[in-house]
């Protein structure tokens, strides 16, 4: 069997070239697919999420269906929409009932359907856009206490330039006029939004996107009353506090998400690279570019601080070269990453468009997903959970993974949460296996 044809790893549904999935109106999802001519089309499909419960919940006024078999999660409850499912989960939890449910809508959809993002899509066919914002950073003395980092401060910082490029070779620099800063900056943000809609990227990449570039853009857009409606269906940037534990480091950052598109932050990827290699001199863009020999000119790549501001005010060729340098390094670096062995690359074969929480990003999440979390996702999706034919697929998964699952259950108190999730997942799959084909999608609606 060809590796890519393994349905346990890559999903049983053969639908190719899906680049993103997002929640639609009540009871639907929007599935974005890349055509062979390079265009992106959107299909609206029904989506009725479900949970597995360990007992009948008719006493709570909720209708269920009993699945065949006598394993733990033998009762199926189906909802009309994701909003209803959230209310259902909360109700079951408050009632003290034991159940298994996905906490992310897009992972739920991909797992239930057996579909996979980017299937049969060549790396060069994924539309990748690189983004870097150069900013004027106020002196530490003018900042509020506790804000000495080069984070966005809407009252004192401002944008000097926005550089963009993509994997087709296209490039553009949007430079803010220092003599007409406010109006020029507003126009720069509008131009950025227009270019994202026009170029229609699947993935937006950058170094320190989450901690520096996106917060600055959001802060300045709010200050200048400008919309950043970058989503494929017109959605806006959203963020939530996030934390990443990497070896001895804890990194707090705002996680940004966008309907129909994905983010990749190479600052976070550099952290994971260095856990094993311990060879990076630093984690700034220039440090990483130097390490991977992506610098054509050290003078240009390392231009920063007062020297960068002087080059900006002088409208020099050096400033424009520096603005393009960062995005070019990002583009070439990701292409070089793709040529490395598969185990070291960002994986696109897992049933995640977001992690096990609402509103997180697919590729960004899979890039930092622990090994046990990946295993849990593959176990569930490999079983084709919740759809026709689940019984046979689940049985095959369980046969291959029974020893691992037994071990995980035995050590459940001492393993990471992702491994505990995998052990819980196998319980749900066991219920589907005993239930027979299509059982998990026959429940009555709430």
- The confidence band for 102, taking pLDDT boundaries of 50, 70 and 90, is confident
**Torsion (CA) 317, 323, 329, 330 in degrees, nearest 10:** -160
| CB 389, CB 438: distance < 8 Å | yes
CA distances from 96 to 194, 196, 437 (A): 49, 46, 30
Q: Identify the CA nearest to 324 among candidates 157, 137, 170.
A: 170
Q: Using CA atoms, how far apart are residues 279 and 351, in angstroms rounded to an integer?
A: 32
pLDDT computed for residue 246 by the predictor: 87
User: Look-up: residue for tokens 């074969």?
Assistant: 349
pLDDT computed for residue 402 by the predictor: 39
Cite the residue boundaries of each domain of the chain with CATH code 3.30.420.10. Answer: 127-344
Looking at domain 3-118+348-441, which CATH architecture does it have? 2-Layer Sandwich (3.30)
Alpha helices (H) in 383-416, listed in sequence order = 390-410
Lowest average pLDDT, out of 162-166, 327-331, 349-353, 373-377, goes to: 349-353
pLDDT computed for residue 253 by the predictor: 95
Lowest average pLDDT, out of 35-39, 217-221, 301-305, 392-396, goes to: 392-396
For residue 336, pLDDT beyond 70: no
- Nearby residues of 70 by Cβ (< 8 Å), 6 or more positions away: 434
Share of the chain above pLDDT 70, in %: 70
User: What token pair was written down for 372?
Assistant: 């046990």
Cite the residue boundaries of each domain of the chain with CATH code 3.30.342. Answer: 3-118+348-441
- The confidence band for 329, taking pLDDT boundaries of 50, 70 and 90, is very high
Stated as kind and residue range, the H or E segment containing 75 is: strand 75-78
For residue 418, pLDDT beyond 70: no
pLDDT tens sequence across 43-74: 999 999 999 998 888 888 888 889 888 888 88
For residue 127, pLDDT beyond 50: yes
| CB 443, CB 65: distance < 8 Å | yes
The CATH number assigned to the domain with range 127-344 reads 3.30.420.10
pLDDT computed for residue 377 by the predictor: 64
Stated as kind and residue range, the H or E segment containing 130 is: strand 128-136
pLDDT computed for residue 62 by the predictor: 87
For residue 116, pLDDT beyond 80: yes
pLDDT tens sequence across 192-246: 999 999 999 999 999 999 999 999 999 999 999 999 999 999 899 999 999 998 8
Lowest average pLDDT, out of 140-149, 183-192, 256-265, goes to: 140-149
Q: Using CA atoms, how far apart are residues 420 and 427, in angstroms rounded to an integer?
A: 11
Max mean pLDDT among 23-32, 161-170, 301-310 falls in 161-170
pLDDT computed for residue 289 by the predictor: 92
Give the mean pLDDT of the chain: 78
- The confidence band for 19, taking pLDDT boundaries of 50, 70 and 90, is very high
Backbone dihedral angles phi then psi of residue 17, each to the nearest 5 degrees = 65, 30
| CB 22, CB 204: distance < 8 Å | no
DSSP state of 296: S
């Amino acid at each position: 069997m060809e590796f890519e044809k393994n349905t346990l790893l890559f999903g049983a549904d053969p639908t190719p070239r899906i680049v993103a999935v997002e929640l639609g109106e009540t009871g639907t999802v929007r599935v974005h697919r890349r055509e062979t001519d390079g265009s992106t089309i959107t299909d609206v499909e029904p989506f009725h999420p479900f949970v597995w419960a360990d007992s009948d919940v008719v006493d709570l006024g909720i209708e269920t269906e009993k699945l065949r078999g006598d394993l733990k999660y033998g009762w199926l409850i189906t909802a009309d929409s994701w909003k209803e499912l959230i209310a259902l989960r909360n109700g079951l939890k408050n009632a003290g009932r034991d159940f298994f449910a996905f906490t992310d809508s897009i992972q739920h959809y991909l797992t239930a359907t057996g579909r996979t993002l980017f299937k049969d899509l060549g790396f060069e066919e994924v539309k990748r856009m690189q983004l870097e914002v150069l900013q004027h950073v106020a002196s530490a003395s003018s900042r509020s206490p506790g804000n000495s980092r080069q984070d966005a401060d809407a009252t004192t910082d401002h944008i000097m330039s926005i550089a963009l490029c993509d994997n087709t070779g296209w490039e553009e620099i949007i430079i803010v006029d220092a003599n007409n800063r406010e109006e020029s900056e507003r126009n720069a943000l509008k131009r950025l939004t227009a270019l994202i809609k026009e170029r229609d990227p699947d993935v937006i990449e950058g170094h320190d996107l989450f901690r520096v570039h996106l917060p600055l853009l959001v802060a300045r857009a709010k200050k200048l009353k400008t919309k950043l409606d970058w989503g494929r269906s017109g959605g806006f940037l959203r963020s939530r506090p996030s934390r990443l534990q990497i070896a001895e480091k804890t990194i707090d950052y705002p996680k940004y998400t966008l309907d129909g598109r994905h983010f990749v932050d190479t600052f976070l990827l550099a952290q994971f690279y260095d856990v094993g290699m311990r060879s990076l001199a630093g984690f700034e863009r220039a440090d990483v570019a130097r390490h991977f020999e992506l610098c054509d000119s050290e003078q240009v790549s390392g231009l920063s601080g007062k020297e960068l501001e002087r080059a900006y005010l002088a409208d020099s060729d050096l400033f424009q070269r520096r603005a393009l340098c960062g995005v070019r390094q990002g583009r070439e670096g990701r292409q070089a990453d793709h040529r490395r062995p598969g185990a070291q690359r960002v994986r696109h074969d897992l049933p995640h468009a977001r992690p096990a929480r609402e509103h997180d990003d697919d590729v960004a999440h899979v890039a930092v997903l622990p090994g046990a979390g990946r295993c849990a996702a593959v176990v569930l999706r490999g079983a084709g959970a919740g759809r026709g034919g689940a019984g046979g697929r689940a049985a095959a998964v369980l046969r291959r993974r029974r020893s691992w699952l037994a071990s995980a259950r035995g050590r459940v108190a001492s393993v990471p949460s992702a491994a505990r999730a995998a052990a819980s997942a196998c319980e749900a799959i066991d219920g589907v296996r005993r239930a027979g084909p299509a059982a998990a999608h026959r429940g009555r609606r709430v």
